[in-house]
Structures are given as C-alpha cells and as structure tokens.
Chains A and B, each alone.
Chain A
Amino acid sequence: MNPWGPFVVFLVLGAAWTAVWGWATARSSGPSGSFDAVYAAGGILRRRLFYIIVAVLVVVFLVSIRYFPYRSLAEARLGVPTVHVTVTGKMWQWTLSQEEIPSGTPVEFEVTSIDVNHGFGIYGPSGHIVAQVQAMPGYTNRLVVRFAQPGQYLVRCLEFCGIPHIGMAAAFDVK
C-alpha cells in the first residue's frame, strides 16, 4: 500500500470535519435560540449519523479483511510463498538468510528475535515502508510479501531496542 493514499483520505475527512466544526463554532456566539428545538433536531441527526457511521465502518472493515497481512489471508491474495527467508533480530543487527530475492514471487519472511522486541520494517527503493512485522523473542512471525519493484530494499528496526537502535539496519536486493 502506498502510504500517501490513507494520508489523502485522512486529509479529506479532516477537512470535512474542520468545516463542520467551524460552521458550528461560528454559530455558537449568535443570538440565543431555543435549546429544546436544537436538542430535538440534534437527536434526529445523531441517530442518522450513527447508522451512517456504522454502515461505512462495516464496509471498510469487510474490505480491509482482504488486505490483512496475516499468513493465510496474505497467501490467498499473493500466492503461496516459494521463497523463505529467515530473519533474526539481535541487539543491534539483522541477520537475513539471503540477500537476493526474486521480484514478482511471494516471499515469506520468518522473523524472530533472540533478545528484545525489534520491528522488521522494509523500506522500498522509493523510500516508503512496504511492509513490517514485529520480531519478538520466543515467537516467529511470518510475513508474506511480493515485491513488484526491483531494486535495493532497506530494513530498519521500527521498535525501539536501546540507544544503538538507530543503527540497526540491513539491506537486500530484489532482482
């Protein structure tokens, strides 16, 4: 997912809310009206808004399920992984079992940690985050990704893991 997509959605919703808020705020200092009438109209509006919001959120939720990153759902969308890369986080370095990954192929990253929590964050050649998963001691989290764009991908730790955290990085090539 391109991270700027949700940002635009957020800005549009935020602007709409700001307009509503500004409209109501601008009318708050006006001549005093009947509160009972306002309250009654507000009650009707509130009920309608409730149904609209619930309906919209149910649709968003149902659509979002298809794009869940969890293994079975990701495999259904991207295909069964044929490449498996083991990833181990350790204060303060990443160890990847391979540093060359084929493009257009579903890849499974098997991510774990041997000490503290780390965040396995993959940055694409354009500098955006492509996907991420937590590296937790005692657990292996399986992240399925299919890289469409060839190039060098950077791995940064996205979970604070001590003062040298900022230097915990690695790279792999997608060819």
Chain B
Amino acid sequence: MASQLLTGKNGPSLRVALVHLYAGFVLFLLMGLLGLAMRLSHAQMLPLSPALYDEFFTLHGSGMIAAILLGAMGGIIAVLSSRTQLDVRLLWIGFVLYILGVGYIPIAVLLGGFAAGWTILYPLPVMYQAGWTPWSTFAFLLGYLFVALGFGVWCAAVLLALARLHGGVTRALAWPFVFSGGRVHNPQPLPYLQDIAAAVISLYGIFTVLVGAVYLIPLFGQNLSLSGTVNSLFMKNFVFLFGHNVVNLTIYLGAALVYATLPVYAGRPWKTSWLSAFGVNVLFVTLFFPYFHHLYQDFANTVPLHILGELGSYGTGIPALLVTVMGGLLLVYRAGLRWAVPSILILIGFWGWVFGGLGALVDGTIPVNQVYHNTMWVPAHFHTYYLLGAVAFVWAFLYHLAADLSGRRESRLSRAAAWLYGIGGAGFVLMFFIAGAAGMPRRYAVPVPGTGEEILSTIASVFVAVLGLALAWLTYDLLAQLKPAWQRTRERAVHS
C-alpha cells in the first residue's frame, strides 16, 4: 500500500518523528495511570498519603505536558519531512536533551520527594521545610532546563527547514500575503496552514524558552545559595507566562497536525485563505495576553493587567473557533468523510477544544474567577481542551502516521475505541467541572467535606476506566503498527 508521508528520502526524519511520537505516547500512558491513582484516592478506593498524592500531581502535570509536547513535536517533523529536508542530527540532539530533562523529573519527585507542583510557584521550590530536599529541587529545575533546551533546538530545526522550504521565515509566515490584505500571493504557492502555524509556534517557542530562563536562573541561584530572594510577583508573572505558553503552544501544534491530517480523510484541501493565514499569525498576540488571567487574584498586579487578561481570554478563543474548529467542520460537512481512528479523534478534539474553551471563558471572567480560581474548575477546563483537544489531535496524527507507514487497516473495534476515548474523557472531565462549582480546591490531597468530591471521583474513576480501555485497544494497534512502520522508513524507493 502506498504511503502518503514517505517520499523515499525522508526515512531518517520519519524515524525521529516516530521516536518522538511513541515516546510521548508511552509517557502519556504512564502519567495517565498516576491521574487514575489520584482519582481513586479521592474516591477512597486507593489510600495515598498526602505526600505521595502531592508527588503524583507534580509528576502527572509536568510529565503530561512534556509527553504531549514531545508527541506534537514529532508530528510536525513528520508533516514537514515529506516536503522539505530537516536537519536530522539537530533533531536528535534536541530529542536527547529533552529526554534527559524528562528523566530528571521522576528522580526529583520519586526519590527526592519534590512536590511543588508543575507550576513550581516561587518561592515554594526553595522552601525545603515544605517536605523536600535541596537536591530534589535542583534535579527538578535541571529537568525543566533540559526540556526547554530540547524544545528550543527543535524550534530552531523547524524554523530552518521552513525558511529553506519557503525562501525565508517571513514567507513561511505568509506575511507578504497577510500584510497585503491577500493581494500579493508570495511565496507561490502559499504555505500550507500547518507550515504557517509551525513557524509561528517555533518563533513563539524560542521566546518561551527565554521566558523560562528568566524564571529558572534566579531559582537555580537561590537553590545553589549563589543569590538571595527575588520579587514573588515578578516570578509569578514569568512562571505563568512560561507555563501558559508551553501548554498553549502544544495545543496549537495539535491544531497544525489537524490541518495536515483531516483533509486526507475528508478528501478536500484545507485552503490557505487570507483569513486563515491571518488567524494563525494573530497567535503572536492572542497567545500572550490571556496569561494575565492566572494572576486575577493577585490584586497587586494592577487592574489594567487584569483587564488585559479578561479581554485576552475572550479574544484567544475567536481565531481558534472560527479558523480551526469551524474550518474543520466545514471541511468535513457533506464530504463523505472516511471514518477512521484519526478522523474520529479529530472530531472529538473539536468538541473538547470548544467545550473546554467555554469552561475557560467562564473562568476567565473576573467575578466568576473569584469563586472558581484554584478549584477543580481549573483542571476541569484544561483537561477538557487538553485530553479531549490537543491530546486527541496529536494521537490522531500518531495513528495516521503509523497506519500510513505500516499499511495496516484498522478494525471496527479500533473505531469504537476512538469513540470510547471521547465518552470516557467527557464523563471524567464533567465530574471535575461539578467539583469545581462545588468549591473543591485543586491540588488538595483529600476530598473537602460537602463538595461531593468522593462520589464525583468514584464516577470519574469509572469514566477513566472506560478511557483506559479505549487507550489499551489503541495502544495494541499502535504497537502492532510500529515494527512495519519502522521498517517502511528504511525503504529507499520513492512512493507515490
């Protein structure tokens, strides 16, 4: 069976992509087990000490974000590799740095007892009376540093490839087209939407790595007793800008993979129009401003910044809804869509992205945030547009790539498993939303009486089991596809 992604020349790039995607998927499964353990703990079905619970949520949060970002990075490598040559050595260097970073995290958490949460809110990581050791903080920070470096190297490799493909970075961003109001079609042909998105994300990714450095350097300094304390509000702004960016870049990488994948199943092209090119470029602005919403309850951060946060939170959803989600639904409308695991997961992803986005919109409204901030509403909305949005998009692409390369046909059960992924995920996150409205705090090792958390976690655990069942089936498929897919990348012949 002919492959659409294999050109006969891009085997090495596809192998890097497969390694990124499969490593990310395995990490996602492991972190998912920790998530299940935490739900079972709140359901009083699995006794976890507060210390272990806190370690689990620290590991789960940081590990999940690393897993999905890694998978998404692999997806973009595969997408670009069929049209341009990537620097494979640079990509491997980035991967090694990234995995090194990922490796430090469980050492810090499980051996050193580090449990300050994935957001490492200053000065908690360097307050060792909280329950961890200085070396564990150092190992955790080292983990973040290497992950950020690995991501930065990936951004550089992708930018170089895009510049080569389109004759410069501004052309890859379609700026001549965008800034001429759509009159100047330069370069010709216009970059695909996934190329424009990858260029925006890579540039923004480099900015994000620098933001991370601003946060990490004072923490390293204090951890190593080289410097004193720094301003908490300054540090909070930077850590949330960093974390917000990383999560959102992952989501938009997932969207870029959708632009490349869904047309294959819909049999229609995803056109680069002026509106879509502009909508993707507007990410430079809409990615930045919403981060202020993380600091609504820090009244010292001044009212204009809170207002920017609220307006930014509202504004960020508009291009996502009108360009990607609506564009995707128009693409499949009366298209004779080929139902397959990737197309099902993408459609589930559209649902989850918007449904979770609505939760974010509600919480992004300052008076509502007064009663929802730091409750389970927060994990509710980001689990929705992550697990049922970005994650679904990334694993849709993984399945698409593995099936494309291996030539294996999926079964009806595989398609049922994809739908079960959505059902299990939706039931699971709905319990989070209810718990949030009931006032259950997030990052709380025990259920708070009167919030119904025990019963909600019991129901959530059942839905997570359904999700787990679906993932087990899809994992079986992916493992069966891995060997033939890998072997296929070693073929030299050019396929149509």
**Chain A positions near chain B (C-beta within 8 angstroms):** 1, 3-4, 6-7, 9-10, 13-14, 17-18, 21, 24-25, 27-33, 35, 38-39, 42-43, 45-46, 49-50, 53-54, 57, 60-61, 64, 67-71, 73, 91, 115-117, 119, 121, 123, 127-134, 136-143, 156, 158-166
Contact = CB atoms under 8 A, between A and B. Distances in A.
Contacts of A115: 123, 127
Given A136-B233, A141-B299, 16 more contacts: A21-B354, A29-B337, A32-B267, A33-B334, A38-B334, A49-B321, A49-B326, A54-B318, A73-B303, A116-B130, A119-B374, A129-B375, A137-B123, A137-B232, A163-B130, A163-B445
Given A13-B358, A91-B127, A156-B448, A139 B232 contact: yes
Contact of B347 (A25, A38, A53, A133): A25
Contacts of B326: 42, 45-46, 49
Interface stretch (B24-32, B157-165, B209-217, B435-443): B435-443
Nearest to A139: B300
Interface SS, A side: mixed
Contacts of A165: 54, 443-445
B370 A161 contact: no
A141 B300 contact: yes
A27 B334 contact: yes
Contacts of B441: 119, 121, 156, 158
Contacts of B339: 29
Interface stretch (B101-109, B144-152, B359-367, B456-464): B359-367
A119 B297 contact: yes
Contacts of A158: 373-375, 441
Interface stretch (B71-79, B175-183, B306-314, B397-405): B306-314
Nearest to B311: A61
A17 B354 contact: yes
A30 B355 contact: no
Per CB-CB distance, the 9 closest pairs between chain A and chain B, nearest first, are A162-B130, A67-B367, A33-B334, A28-B332, A32-B336, A127-B450, A163-B131, A7-B437, A42-B330
A156 B444 CA distance: 11
A68 B306 contact: yes
Contacts of B124: 116-117, 160-162
A49 B232 CA distance: 41
A160 B54 CA distance: 9
Given A1-B371, A119-B297, A128-B371, A50 B322 contact: yes
B298 A136 contact: yes
Contact of A32 (B271, B322, B335, B445): B335
